[in-house]
Each structure stands twice: as C-alpha cells, then as structure tokens.
Structure 1
Amino acid sequence: MVKKIYLITILLFTFAVKAQVGIGTNTPNASAALDVTSTNHGMLIPRMTQAQKLAIASPATGLLIYQTDNASGFWFYNGVAWMPFSGGNSWNLLGNLGTNPTTNKLGTTDNQSLVLRANNIETSRILANGNVGIGTTTPNAKLHVVGNSVFNYSQNFTSIATGNITTGTGNNPYVINNNSGCVAADSWQVTNTGSTYQCTGCTGNYALIDYGSSTCNQNAIMVIKLGAIGISSVNISFSYLYEEYNATDQFVVTLYNETTSSVVATLLSLNSNADTTFSNNYTVIPGNSYSLRFQYTGTYAAGASVDNVIVSGGNSVFTLQDGNQAANRVLISDANGNGTWADIASLGATDDDWRFASGSTTNDPIYRTGFVQVGNNKEPFQLLEVEEPNNLGQDTQFGFGNTEYFQDVQSEQSISHHVVPINNNSISLGSAANRWYDVYASNGTINTSDARDKENIKNLEYGTKELMLLNPVSYQWKKEQFGNTVVPEKDKLHKIGFIAQELQKVLPETVQNYEWKEINTTYQKVKMPRLGVNYAEIIPVVVKTIQEQESKLSKIEAQQLEIQKILNELAK
C-alpha cells in the first residue's frame, strides 16, 4: 500500500513538473497539456442531456460536452452561452453531397430571424413570419426593398427664355448680388447666339456673362437651385468657359447647402483662361437642399459661359433586365403574375398623369405639382393657365358647370351669368386696400330696403343743422394707375365729394372704418387702412333737410298770406 501511494506521488510530481500528460505515448507533444495517442481507441468526453447541460453551474469558457437529445452533438460554452459544433451537418464552402431537401435546411429552427451579411454588413433578413427585407431590418411585406434614392438634375437652359436671368421659379436659375448700375450685358443672361465667350460644350441656349460696357465691371452670382437631395453623394458636371483680363479677375463655382446656409465645397476657383468640362463627386447630407453658385468677378473686357449642368447619383433599388427594358417603360404582369417591361404606347394608353382611380375623398385628391397649361403647349406663367389654342389671348373661355363661364377678352374678363355672393349680406366687392376704379351699370345700383329685414326703425334726427356743417370739396387722387401705366399729373381727373375724416365728425354712420375679414375660418372685425364713405346714406339727410326747409317755407307762405290779408283790410 505504501509503495502504491509513493508511486502515485512520483507520477503526480512528474506531471506537475512537466505540465504535460501523455497517454499512450512517453513523449507528449510540446504544444499539448494532454496528448492521447491510440490507433484503435478514441477519447470519450462527458455525455449528457440538454437539461443536464443547462444545469451545470457557472460553466467555464471552453467547457466541452456531448449532448445526447434534441440538437444532439458537441457543445461548448463560449463564456456567454452554449454553442453547438457544426459537426457533420455543416454547410461546406465548396458545397455538400447527399442532401435531402425535406430534412436539410439553411436557416433557424427557433423563432429568430435569419440574417445575411457581406463585409460584416447586413444585406438582407428573413423574419420568422417569412417577410424578406433587403436594406431594412423590419420588412412589412413578403418582399420589402429599401435603398438609396436616385437623384437626377439637369439644366441646359432650353426651358428658360433668352435674356437677363432675374428671379426664377422652381429650379430655374436666378441671379443675386449684381453690381448696381451695370448695363444688361454685365449680368448673367440666357442666349443662343454666338459669343466670344461661348464655351466649346455650349449648344443651343446657354448662360453667359459678357462685357457690355467699357466702364462697368462684373460681379454677379448665378444660383441654380437643385432642391432637396435624398442621397449621400452626387456627381456634378458642367461645361464652361472662363477668360480673364487681369489677375484680379476670378471665376468661382461652389456647392452651397441652402438648409444650413453654408458652402459645402469650392468646385472651381480660376484666375486663368479655361474652356473645358468639369466633373467630380461630392458628399452631401441626405434631405438637405442644395444649390450651385457661379460667381464671376472681373473687368469689363472678359466673360464666362456655362451649359449642360448635370447633378446625379444614387443607385436604383430594383433592376429588371428582361431584354425589353428601356427609358419610360412600364412594368406589366400576365395572369400568372410574371412581370415584364412594356412600352406604354403598345398598350394603347396615353399620358394621363391626372388620373386618380383610388377614391373620391379629400384624403386622396387628384393633384399635379408644377405649372399646368390647358389648351396650348407654350410655356405657362401661372400655376394654372387656360388659353384658346388657335387664337392666343382671344376669347379664351373657362367654364363652370353646364353654362357659366369666364371669358378672356384681351385685357378684360367677362362672365356669362349673374355674380352673386354665396351668403346673403356678408360678402364685399373690393376692399379698402384694393378698390374698384369705376363701376358701370345701366340701371344704377339697387340696395335692398325691405322693412321685413329691418329693426329698431326710428325717424332720422339729422337734418338742416348737420347738412350745413358738411364741407364739400373738389380734389385729385395722389396716384392714378391702370395696370402698369401711371396717369400723369396733367391727365388726372378732378373729383368732388367729402373728406371722410370731416364727414365722420358730423355723420359717422356714413363713414366706414372697419371691415369683416376671414381669419382662420371665422370672420373678424378688422380696422380698415383707409376710411370709406357711403355716399348713398347721405341722401336721407338731404331729404330730411329739404323736408324741414319745405315745412319752414309753408309756414312763411302762410304768414305772408295773413300779412297780405291784413294789408288788404287796411287799404279799404
């Protein structure tokens, strides 16, 4: 017994000194703490059920067991959770043999999503409910694709009228910071005629700043509004020519963030001659609005031109190439749901971007952004413009219902039927700020005066006394204007009437100093910027004065008759 204990002690001491154990070999590998060597036996590690595995208290990282039930196989603890070895059920990088589609699968067996990654970045995900998401972690459809939007903007100035560029609308260019006093040619303008400063790439209409005076230096900025950009980077390209006169001249092009009012990048900063095409990529903040600014600063003897401005970027989230793809094609399907590209013209359809076939409530209206031209294909100047196609500006009609219509008669508008307010005694024609100059009528104006509509009726107290306090005057308006034509002093008409402020002290009822205006869907009493006079309401005062004078005259006539009678008696 003592010998056995001694032998075990010697062995343990040997193991501790060498820190290596060899089973089946006297020379364990130097890299192994335990080296088991055999040609006819294996090494058996602890075997247990899943419940027994999970019952191990505080398992050490790297602890290895063989699970005998459920997902049987080798399992190890990674310091956080138990993980299975793939063993013989793994999918190999070079493919697998002997698979059975009814039992072999790629995916999850619990209520968890399957995530696919590339470069350690998630590219797609399949939820437990079967929804597939590409570019989104929360797909809400069987196939839900989210990706970068595409941004495309081009400006070749063909849609802009030739002449000086002033303030534009939409994405039209506009000019700021022009030198005051410069002649027209010293501002950015759109032209299609040849110029010394026309760039090689400028064709058709293009933007130009050219000398126009021997004394006026140029300093003008042309701003091209790009609008909101929904992607993170864009490519900017344009054709340009710049010719300098001296070292103080400069042509600078910048990408400007309109949302943050800051310069993103300087694209060009030239003080030497150039005639070429610019192209480069720039990072932007998705959702912010941007513009391109072309600033020319120079002497009168030089110039610059710009054309073919293109800003584009982004990737399509969906591409189908079936051999029928082309610009402006539509995707159609057959009865089985097979999709193909088709030319809309081949379907017998026309461009009806006004159609809206979903519903009729105010939540889904028919609408169109931008300008709308009806009856003609020339460029509109109003949001909605209606013109007769064959005789521009003449007899154009815009109808309401079956019979009523407005008609354009050169510089006037006529209407086919009566014009009445939608509510009785509540709508005004004109206002204190916007007055009618003349009102023509063949039968005069008629004011409703039915006693059934009135209350608190009293005899008028005004009369001769008040009428004698009135101060009739003649006058001229300070400003008379018809459209853009201002009437010169010599042609102004002389008017007669009253001064509202004076009349208000005597007959306040005839002077209007407030009006009712619709504010936030309700009408409110608002002080008028100018006083108004209701001349018709002065008539009752005149009538009352005449009545008083007539009564006095009747008394005087009666008195005169009495006096005449007395005189006749005395004469007998």
Structure 2
Amino acid sequence: MKTLLSFFIIFNLSLGISFGQVGIGTVNPEATLHIVGNTVLGNSGGLIELLNENFTSYTVLENNNSTGCTVDGWENTTTGDINANCSSCTGNWLYIDSDESGCTQNATALINFTSTPSTASINVSFDYRYNNFGASGDSFRVYLFNNTLNIQEGGDLINTTSDIDTSYTNSLNVIAGNNYSLRFEYNGNYDYGASIDNVLVTENITANTGVYTFKLEDGQQQNGYVLTSDANGFATWMPPTGGGTGTDSQTLSITGSVLSISNGNSVTLPVLGGGGTYTFENGITENSGTVRLGGSLTQTTYIDLNSRDLYFEGTGSGNITFEDNSGQPQMTTNFSDGYTNFGAGTAIVDSDDGTSFSDTFGGGPFTKEFVVGGYNGSSGGTAIALGSIEYVVDGTNELFYEGGGFSPMDDFSSDLGADPFSGTTRRWDDVYADDFITPTNTYSRTTGKLSTTKDLNKGLSTIMQLKPISYKDQMTIKGKSIPENTKEDKLGFFIEELWSVLPEAVKTSDWVSLDESGDKTHVVYNKPSGIKFTQIIPVTVKAIQEQQTQIENLNSEVQSLKTELAQIKELLLNRSKN
C-alpha cells in the first residue's frame, strides 16, 4: 500500500515535469518547483464597514443639471441653512438649497461604497432632512445604485415631497462582489432644501479559517515565524532576527560620525561644524545632542525674519506674534478669543468680546465676536483701508472717513440713526452738510418716478393750528445729564399735537429689514418716533401762497376803496363851490 501511494505521488508530479521542472497545480511550471493555488485568507467575522461617510474630507460627486443658483448642486458645508439642516447634522454634512428667486436645483449626489459587499445583505443608515416650501414638482429621493450593472437596485429608499427631519435604517439585498453607491436626488425650484449626514453601510460576515495553497510543517512552525535557511540550504521556520512577530527590527546607533545598522552595515555621516553643537538653517538649532522639530513648545520660540521677527509663545496661550525691527509687536493672534490684532498696541477690549447687544429694531440679543483689530497709537488713531483708496480713521474717539461718497448699497435701503417702535433711541446729535437734499427733490415732472401727484390741500388753515414751542432738550452724554445752565434753547412742536394736525410730518412707521436676508417689512410704531420737518415746508409754502393771495385781494380792495374815496372827495368839493 505504501509503495502504491509513493507511485501515485510520483506519477502525478511527473505530469508537471518539463525539462527537470516540477509543477503543483499547473502543467506549465516556470521553476524547478512551481506551486499554484488560490489562497483565501481567514477572517474573524462580525460587522464590517463598507461605507462610513461623515463628510469631513468628502469631495462632492454628483450629476448636476441645476441653473440660476448661487451654488449649483450639492455642497460640503459646516453651516448650511437653518431651513434645511437636519437636527443631527454636526461637523460637516452634505447640503443643497434653492431658496432664491430663479434658482432651480436638479442634482443627485453619488456616494460610492468604500468596499464591495461579500454577502447578499447589507445594513444602510443615514440622517436627513427635506423641507418643501410648497411648490409642486419639488421632491427628495434616495436609492441604492448598482455601479457594476449600471441600474437601480430595488425600490426607492426615500421618495417624498413632504417636510421631514429624521433618520433611515434598513437591511437591503445586494449582489456580492458588485460595486454600489447611495444616490441622493433633489429637485427644487425656489424651495428650501435638503441635507444628509452620518451615512453608514455595514454587513455581517461569517468567520472562516481560510484556504491556503502552501503548508510546511517541520515541527518549528509558530505564529509570526519566517522561513529561513543556513549556509547549506537547510530550511526551517525561525523567529525573526530582531524578535517580534513578522517584523525584522534593525538597531541604529551612532558613534562620532558613523551611523551603524545591525547586521554589520554602517553609514559615515558628514561632520557638521565640529564639537558638540551643530547649527542648522531656518532657525533650527541642536545643543548637547538634542534636536527638536515639532511637538509641544516648552519655551517661547523666535524665528528671525531679518528685521521682522516671528515668535511662538511656548507657554500660556500659544499665540503667534510678528515684531518690527524695534521689537514692537505688529501682528498678534489671540487664539483663545478668536481674533487678530494689528499694530503696536491693543485695539480690541477683551472685556467687550463675547458681550451681548440688541440691534436698532429690537432683534437679538446678539453676541460681539471680534475678528480683527488695528492700532496706530492713542493720539493719531487707527487707519483701516477699504479697497484701494477709501479708508476709515479713528482718532480721539472720533471717526473720520475719506472717500468719494458715503451711501447705502441700495436706494432707500438704510437710515442714519433711529428711534424705532421698540423704544430704543439711537439718534445723531447734529448733522452738518453743505447741501441737505431730501429724496422728494430728486423727482421732476420729466422723470415719471412719482406714482401719484395732486395739488396740496393743506396750507394756512393747517399752519394756524400748529403750536410752535421753545424748549430745552433733556439729553445726556454717556448717561450723564448736561447742566441746566448750559442747555441750549431749541424750537419745535409737541409731537402729539403735530400728529393730530399734520400726521404726514410725524414718523409712525417704516420699511425695515428685520434680519440679514434683505427682505423689507412694514413696521408700524406703537407711538410717534420723530418729526419730519421737511414735510412741513410744502405746507408752509402753501400757507404763504394763500396769504399772498389774501394780501393781493386786500390790496385790490384797498385800491378800490381809495378810488371811491377820491371820487367822493371830488364830488363834495364841487358841491361846496356851488
């Protein structure tokens, strides 16, 4: 029986012999001993991730047919939009919106699996939100796509036109070995938008011991051993030279300028500077055999940039500072408070950073978050350039502006000072100008800009009902009242009385933007907020015209009376003569 088995082995080996070569698993050996097989490594089984995408370093891949939007298609974001962000979106997430007039989004984000499934079932989960403004034709759809077969796999995972903010979790059937992607399709025309985050695809695989082509047992085999031989070619399993499991470690040592590597190899290094201290370029130094590059700074580190120095604070805040040639800081970061200061001084008051305030129209509270500050000395003030020419100068608590003009971005878009319905009074004290031109004066009969015109019917009778007054304003400066003997006399009206007689001259409403969207909202104040003195001028002119008409009529009557009186005198004189 033993002889027969030996013959069988020799016979099978001989089938692969070609010119003294032996093949196992192949009839065309290419070496003296040629072994061919399919090794399948074993695995411990369990939950395997095929895709784990939180969009931290994700580059958008999409099919995009969007038009007319500020950003066409999907975008990787950390801010998104409050109307479209999912409640569980954190860090980075994928986001799309069409919330602007003329914007039509038709885009499908493609998120490919990192690994192909090895089983017929996968687990899919992701967080998402879709917010529909209400227009027909808007939708959000999610489906699994077989990249290998170029078809959709199964039905839609999500297909909705309704507002929703939730998570999706389900098990799906797939074809093992095929490539897959999740696809997120958004269609919106002047719609809110959608967002997705935390995309996870996993599968459960069964543990297996693997299938191996080659096995050699000589009694020395152990985990991590390597196959080695002696000088005579006798092979056996042995531990790696440097110990460990499968890693042949090498030992490096340096003596003088000779770098030695274990097993007899060595490299001779060039001598740098001699002695025990070496100086390197670009501000890196070595002392007493220690060179540091990177890691935590243990002391303040200076880098000499000719006459402009840069240093890093090695203790405390870790801020970065640039100095001028006199050692004065010209740029200092403040990492803890999140701003940068320019100039040899402090332009930003730290105690103000992070404090709350409300805007003119009662919005807020908002938080002051300083970004950048500039300082050029307490006497000269700070200059801040805006573009190529314009700049703002701050000196002795006074703000100077130099440029061709100072105007709002859009016509009738902003006010100078305010006394709004919220009760917050923010008025300028005095306005000095060479010419004071109201918007009404910009219209003419030829421009055609006036929507409705008619002759003014308020004049002398209206003016006669007004009650002008003289008063002293109870104003304060930074919370302190002005002494009574220094208050100036001012002229004006009681605003309530003026409102009842000439309401057009009293400010009671306005068109304002209550947020940064730019949309105007008509706000009616709960009390009169100010007097529009220019509105009184046309009524005054009308009153003067009516008075002039009365004067001319009286002059005509007086002239007639004078003529009649002269005729009576002449008649009486003639009678006395007769």
Question: TM-score, normalized by length of structure 2?
Answer: 0.37
Greater C-alpha Rg: 1
